[in-house]
Amino acid sequence: MKPLLPVAVVGIGCICAPGPTLDECMDALFAGHRHPSLPTRFPIPNGFSFPVFEVPDTYLPTTAQDTVAQRTNLLALNAADQAFQDAGLEFDTLSHLRVGVCLGTNVGGSLGNENLFQDLNTKDKSHISPIDRFRVSNPTAALMETYHTNGPFQTVVNACSAGNDAIGIAAGWIDAGWCDLVLAGGADELYQVTYVGFKSLFINADAPCQPFDLNRKGLNLGEGAAIFLLASPALCQRLNLVPRGYVLGYGAAADAYHFTHPRPDGAGLHRALDDAFAQTDLTPQDIAFINVHGTGTQGNDRVEATVLNARFAGTPFVSTKGYTGHTLGAAGPVEAAFTLACLQRQQIPRTAGFNTPDPEISAVPTTENYPIDGTVAISQTLAFGGSNSVLILGKGGPLS
């Protein structure tokens, strides 16, 4: 594997249930706040009582909510605006640069189908064009049009690891010299189809999720977006940008095992970790903490515990799903943003929902806010279809 030069993250935007910005999210996490509730934006079938983590309408500008754009796109645009502000960049001044967009989404790829579906059933042909369908539902296209980007682009649909993979792919674009700047991340809104779909798999919890807990019952869905601005070394130098963090390594691998059940021995996750480390000169001993996928399902937590025990014994780890819910394509970027913020604060939050260790998996996440000492951490996601994705992230500051 060719080594990856550290790729600078010069701006981060984040919006999800805990808060409208990354700082407010982190404050909520460290204060232990979480507010799951039943969905309010779509009808719930009879007998469904599975809480979710919605983004309050107050987090989005009122004018934005009045537009016809899909909520997924609004979330992505909100996070992207934040990222530019965070970097202190005015996009209009960057028109001479080659700027790419690489986002992960699940719902963004399907919502247009909902339009089509409803049109077919209401005889309203006004929105049936596949082009219209794509325009209203694809967050990558929304960012490209809003910021008039001119570089490469890609919408990753690797289910729950889509956003993590999008950041990894985008880091490669910077490394290859294909872009000066990339907007990378993910976005997904709460959606009725995924809500009932997870129920059909019996992995929704009917209470707030409890990652790694003996009594865990499954996951809660959430929504949100996080966008990273990745910049080339030359651009950082030219604009005096101080990185908020670094992408140091990326690995992705498949379980090749089962469509909805993770491989019990974690072979896919091991390979993703191997590949991510192979892009660096780091070892597991360099890892300050791990932000795990930690959905609260039986299968996911068991596999992650197996891998953690095998190669990161004693390293603290946290699941933040208890604060955000599972935001699907946004999960990787949201958690990567949290990971960089924790490296900055030198502290990781307690794992909300965890109370009682499960003796079968012998893995105990953080039980209280926990100080860390180190500059490198891992954020990992697992997904439908057996996808595993690992980002190795470094603390911000001038590159030595």
Least Cβ distance, residue 70 to other proteins (angstroms): 15
Q: To the nearest whole angstrom, how small is the minimum distance from the Cβ of residue 260 to other proteins?
A: 5
Cβ(55)–Cβ(15) below 8 Å: yes
* Least distance from other proteins to the Cβ atom of residue 19, Å: 29
- Residue 266 sits in the site that holds other proteins (CB under 8 A): no
Interface of this chain with other proteins, residues 29 to 58, rule: CB under 8 A: 43, 45-48
Segment near other proteins (CB under 8 A); pick from 32-40, 221-229, 255-263, 288-296 = 255-263
Q: Could you tell me how many residues of this chain bind other proteins (CB under 8 A)?
A: 78
Q: How far apart are the first and last CA of the chain?
A: 23
Per CB under 8 A, the list member of 5, 23, 33, 135 interacting with other proteins is 135
DSSP tag of 387: E
Q: Give the residue among 249, 224, 227 at the shortest CA–CA distance from 89.
A: 227
Q: Is residue 67 a contact partner of residue 74, using CB atoms and an 8 Å limit?
A: yes
Q: Please pick, from the candidates 131, 240, 283, 359, the single residue that binds other proteins as defined by CB under 8 A.
A: 131
386 scored as a contact of other proteins (CB under 8 A)? yes
> CB 254 → other proteins: shortest distance, Å?
4
Nearer to other proteins, 171 or 290 (CB): 171
Q: How far is the CB of 389 from other proteins (least distance, A)?
A: 9
- In this structure, what token pair is assigned to residue 36? 């799951």
Q: Is 374 in the site for other proteins (CB under 8 A)?
A: no
Check residue 366 for interaction with other proteins (CB under 8 A). Answer: no
CB of 237 to other proteins, least distance (A): 24
Q: Output the six-digit token pair for 312.
A: 């990161």
Between CA 289 and CA 183 the distance in angstroms is: 26
68 is a contact residue toward other proteins (CB under 8 A):
no
Asked if 148 interacts with other proteins (CB under 8 A), we say: yes
Q: How far is CA 184 from the centre of its chain?
A: 10
Q: Evaluate whether 241 touches 190 at the Cβ level (below 8 Å).
A: no
Beta-sheet pairing, 99-104 with 181-188: parallel
Tell which one of 271, 302, 311, 345 touches other proteins (CB under 8 A): 271
- State which residue, 27 or 145, has the beta carbon closest to other proteins: 145
Binding flag, residue 123, other proteins (CB under 8 A) = yes
Among 60, 64, 116, 399, binds other proteins (CB under 8 A): 116
Residue 367 sits in the site that holds other proteins (CB under 8 A): no
Stretch that binds other proteins, among 9-17, 74-82, 188-196, 319-327 (CB under 8 A): 188-196
Give the 3-state secondary structure of 13-49.
EEEECCECCHHHHHHHHHHCCCCCECCCCCCCCCCCC
- Close Cβ partners of 239 (under 8 Å, ≥ 6 residues apart): 89
Measured CA to CA, the distance from residue 173 to residue 103 in angstroms comes to 13
Residues 69-108, interacting with other proteins (CB under 8 A) = 106
Cross-strand partners of 2:
none
- Rounded alpha-carbon distances, angstroms, from residue 210 to 32, 94, 213, 286, 364: 14, 44, 5, 28, 12
Q: Residue 64, interface with other proteins (CB under 8 A)?
A: no
Site string for other proteins, 272-301 (x = CB under 8 A): ---x---x----------------------
Task: Out of 49, 63, 93, 200, point to the residue binding other proteins (CB under 8 A).
Answer: 200
Subset of 290-349 contacting other proteins (CB under 8 A)? none
Which residue's CB is nearer to other proteins, number 19 or number 151?
A: 151
Kindly tell me the number of DSSP H helices and DSSP E strands found in the chain. Answer: 13, 14
Between CA 239 and CA 243, with CA 242 as vertex, the angle to 5 degrees is 120
